[in-house]
Each structure stands twice: as structure tokens, then as C-alpha cells.
Amino acid sequence: MASIYKKKNNNVWYYCVTYGGKKYQGSTKTTDKQSVLKIIAF
């Protein structure tokens, strides 16, 4: 499962992905939502 979100008072998008029972999360380093959607292939 994958999701994207913004932190409070921050325009950068972050991702959260669960794969193989492990949780991975981090910054996409971009403020453009369309770019983020392409990166994580929603």
C-alpha cells in the first residue's frame, strides 16, 4: 500500500509505502503533486 501526504506548514510531498511487511517513508523533495503521482505510479 502507498500513500502521499504533506506535513503541516510544509509544501513538500512525502510518501509512505508498505512492502513485504516493512514500512518505508521519506521525502519526495518536490512540491508538484503530479510529479509525485508519476514517481510512485498510483
pLDDT in tens, 2-17: 899 999 999 999 999 9
Query: With bands split at pLDDT 50, 70 and 90, how would you rate the model's confidence at 1?
Result: confident
Range of the domain at 24: 2-40
Which pLDDT score, from 0 to 100, does residue 19 have? 92
Which pLDDT score, from 0 to 100, does residue 41 have? 72
Q: What is the pTM of this model?
A: 0.79
Q: Evaluate whether 1 touches 17 at the Cβ level (below 8 Å).
A: yes
Q: How far is CA 36 from CA 7, 21, 28, in A?
A: 15, 23, 7
Which pLDDT score, from 0 to 100, does residue 42 have? 55
Count of domains observed in the chain: 1
| Residue bearing the bigger pLDDT, 39 or 26 | 26
